[in-house]
Chain A
Amino acid sequence: MDIDDILASVDRPDASTPESAALDHQLLTRFWVAERGVSELLPWPAALMERMMDRVRNQITQIEDLAASSTDPISMTTSTTNAATTNLTLSILQSDLSRTQYLIRSFLRQRLSKLTAHSMHYLLLISRQQPPSQSQDSQQQQQPEDSIPPPPNPHETNPTPLSAEEVSFLHAHQTLLAGHYGASFLGSFPQQLRRLDDNVGGVSMVQGPEEKEVVFVRCLGEEVRVVVPPGDGVERETLGTTMRMGDVWAVRWEGVRGAWGRGEVEVL
Chain B
Amino acid sequence: MAFPLPRGITPSEISFLAEMETVTILPRQRLEGLELLGGPVEPLLPPRRASLPLWLALLLKRQRRANILPPPWLHPESLELILEIETKNDEYQHAFSPPPPLPGQPTPRDRRPPTTRPHYTPDGEKYYPAPPFLPQNTARDHIPPGEPPALPFHWLEVGTMLLEAASDDLVEPDQTRRLLKELREVRMAKIRSGVDVLDAAAMGGGGVALTGVGAMELGEGRRFIAGVVDGLRRIGASKEQARREEMAEEMANGGYDGTQDYEDGEMEF
Contacts and interface: CB of A to CB of B under 8 A. Distances in A.
User: Do A and B have CB atoms closer than 8 angstroms in the complex?
Assistant: yes
Interface of A: 1-4, 6-8, 10-11, 13-15, 18-27, 29-30, 33, 36-39, 47-48, 51-52, 55-56, 59, 85, 88-89, 91-93, 95-97, 99-100, 102, 106, 109-110, 112-113, 116, 212-214, 216, 218, 220-222, 226-228, 231-235, 238-243, 245-252, 254-255, 262-264, 266, 268
Contacts of A95: 55-56, 59
A240 B210 contact: no
B130 A251 contact: no
B250 to A, nearest CB: 10
Top 10 nearest A-B pairs (CB, nearest first) are A240-B205, A22-B39, A233-B248, A113-B3, A232-B244, A263-B126, A220-B128, A13-B122, A251-B207, A18-B40
A249 B208 CA distance: 6
B215 interface: yes
A212 B39 CA distance: 37
Given A116-B1, A213-B230, A263-B125, A245 B211 contact: no
Contacts of A238: 205, 247, 258, 261-262
B2 A212 contact: no
B118 interface: yes
B206 interface: yes
A216 B55 contact: no
B123 A47 contact: yes
Contact of B122 (A18, A24, A231): A24
Nearest to A84: B29
Contacts of A102: 16
Nearest to A110: B3
Contacts of A51: 122
A214 B226 contact: yes
Nearest to A254: B204
Contacts of A233: 244-245, 248-249
A21 B2 contact: no
B1 A112 contact: yes
B100 to A, nearest CB: 9
Contacts of A19: 39-40
A69 to B, nearest CB: 14
B99 interface: yes
Contact of A37 (B7, B204, B213, B229): B7
Contact of A245 (B102, B124, B132): B102
B34 A92 contact: yes
Contact of B208 (A22, A52, A250): A250
Contacts of B63: 88
B184 interface: no
